[in-house]
Amino acid sequence: MRLFLFLLAIIGFLGASELNVATLGNGQCAIRNYFTIVTLSYNNARWCEKNLTSLLNQDYDNYDVVYVDDASTDGTGELVESYVNGHPQKNRIRLVHNRVNQGALANLYATLRSIPDDHIVVLVDGDDSLEGTDVLSKLNRYYNANDAWLTYGQHRFDPWGLIGHTRPVTRAFLESQQGRSDTWFFSHVRTFYAGLFKKIRLDDLLEEDTFFPITFDLAVMYPMVEMAGVHTYFVSDILYNYNTINPISDFRKHLDLQRAMEKVIRAKARYPRVEEHPSVAVQGEAADIIAFSFNRPMQLYSLLESVEKRVKGVNTTTVIYRCTEEKYEQGYREVKKRFPEVRFRRQSNDKEIAYTQYKPWVLEALGTEEGKANYVVFAVDDIIVIGDIDIAADVKALKETGGYGFFYRLGILNDFSFMENRAARQPRLISVDYQRFAWRFGRGDCEWKYPHTVDFTIYKKSDILRFHQNADYHYPNDHEGGWAATALHDGTLSKLGLCPQFQKIVNIPLNVVSHYGNNLQLNMYSETELLEKFEEGYKIDVDKLYNARPHSSHAELPIHFIMRSPNG
User: Are residues 248 and 300 located together in one domain of the fold?
Assistant: no
Q: Which of 222, 237, 266 is the last residue of a domain?
A: 266
The pLDDT value given to residue 127: 95
Residue 277 lies in a domain: no
In a domain, 275, yes or no: no
Same domain, yes or no, for 326 and 413?
yes
Rounded Cα distance between 400 and 395, Å, is: 9
| Contacts for 292 with CB less than 8 Å, ≥ 6 apart | 319, 320, 321, 378, 379, 380, 381, 454, 476
Strand ranges, E, within 441-557 = 457-460, 496-500, 505-507, 538-540
Report the pLDDT value the prediction gives residue 2, as an integer from 0 to 100: 45
Same domain, 238 and 325: no
Q: How many domains does the chain have?
A: 2
Q: Is residue 281 part of a domain?
A: no
Residues 316, 206 share a domain: no
Q: What is the pLDDT of residue 425?
A: 94
149 closest CA partner among 33, 15, 272, 269 = 33
Range of the domain at 49: 2-266
In a domain, 517, yes or no: yes
Q: Give domain status of residue 527, yes or no.
A: yes
Q: Does residue 241 lie within any of the structural domains?
A: yes
Shared domain for 248 and 321, answered yes or no, is no
Q: Does 442 lie in the same domain as 526?
A: yes
Angle, CA of 96, 408 and 397, to the nearest 5°: 55
Does some domain include residue 332? yes
Measured CA distances, 265 to 197, 209, 285, 425 (Å): 16, 15, 32, 30
End residue of a domain, out of 209, 232, 266: 266
Question: Domain check: are 292 and 261 in the same one?
Answer: no
The pLDDT of residue 252 is 52
Domain end (from 201, 236, 266):
266
Residue 279 lies in a domain: no
Identity of the amino acid at 335? V
Do 244 and 387 lie in a common domain? no
Q: pLDDT tens per residue, the chain (568 residues)?
A: 444 444 444 444 444 458 899 999 887 777 999 999 999 999 999 999 999 999 999 999 999 999 999 999 999 999 999 999 999 999 999 999 999 999 999 999 999 999 999 999 999 999 999 999 999 999 999 999 999 999 999 999 888 878 888 889 999 999 988 888 888 889 999 999 999 999 999 999 999 889 999 888 999 999 999 999 999 999 999 999 999 877 666 555 567 888 888 999 999 999 999 999 999 999 999 999 999 999 999 999 999 999 999 999 999 999 999 999 999 999 999 999 999 999 999 999 999 999 999 999 999 999 988 889 999 999 999 999 999 999 999 999 999 999 999 999 999 999 999 989 999 999 999 999 989 999 999 999 999 999 999 999 999 999 999 999 999 999 999 999 999 999 989 999 999 999 999 999 999 988 754 444 444 444 578 888 999 999 999 999 999 999 999 999 999 898 999 999 877 6
The span from the CA of 377 to the CA of 406, in Å, is 9
Q: What is the pTM of this model?
A: 0.90
The verdict on 233 and 347 lying in the same domain is: no
pLDDT at 520: 45
Kindly report the CATH number assigned to the domain that includes residue 359: 3.90.550.10
Within this chain, do residues 193 and 294 fall inside the same structural domain, yes or no?
no
Are 218 and 360 found together in one domain?
Answer: no
Q: Are residues 236 and 97 located together in one domain of the fold?
A: yes
Q: In terms of C-beta distances under 8 Å and separation of at least 24 residues, what long-range contacts does 388-391 make, across chains too?
A: 388/310, 388/311, 388/312, 388/504, 389/310, 389/311, 389/312, 389/313, 389/504, 390/284, 390/312, 390/313, 391/284, 391/285, 391/286, 391/287, 391/311, 391/312, 391/313, 391/314, 391/458
